[in-house]
Amino acid sequence: MERFETEVAGTRLVLVQGDITKQEVEAIVNAANPDLTPGGGVSGAIHRAGGPTVTEAAAEIRRQRGRLPTGEAVITPGGSLPARYVIHTVGPVWHGGNQGEPELLAKAYRSCLSLAVQEGIKTIAFPSISTGAYGYPVAEAAVVALRTVRDFLRENPGKLAEVRFVLFSAADFAEYRKAWEKVSSV
């Protein structure tokens, strides 16, 4: 499995090819749908691996708050996952890039990071948000994701010990690795 590690403002930034449901971090991020239901892809896998604890906690949040707006984040217990928590966020659906998708994707990452810091979480793992069923091109999404995380870490030094991106495929890992070369040179 591929792995890349660097440091940003005192925080480890890790890119790894793998399965997000197997990550031993305090929180993993779920690329959720607005209804916080299991769905397919990453969301379905997280709900299956986390078991009824995750699904029931997400359903309770939905009952209390309604649908989760794009770019916002909420937290539930991790259930049967190695991670203690699941942070759920809704990324944007890709419509060609001219309908605020980059800003909404950046907001989703920032919301997760802010919630992690607020909850005292030190290690967090992200999937590639919006690049599955929502159709966001991986190369573009990777640049937005990595730039947003880099900027957040620079603005909040020492608040997180590790931010990990868990990419399911070797192709996605390669795109994130290329994106980091672009982002880190700025």
Beta bridge partners of 3: 16
Residue 137 structural domain: 3-184
Quick one: pLDDT at residue 39?
A: 87
CATH code of residue 12: 3.40.220.10
In order along the chain (186 residues), what is the average pLDDT of each group of 10 residues?
94 98 98 94 96 98 97 98 98 97 98 98 98 97 98 97 97 97 91
Number of domains in the chain: 1
Rounded Cα distance between 24 and 66, Å, is 30
Quick one: pLDDT at residue 50?
A: 98
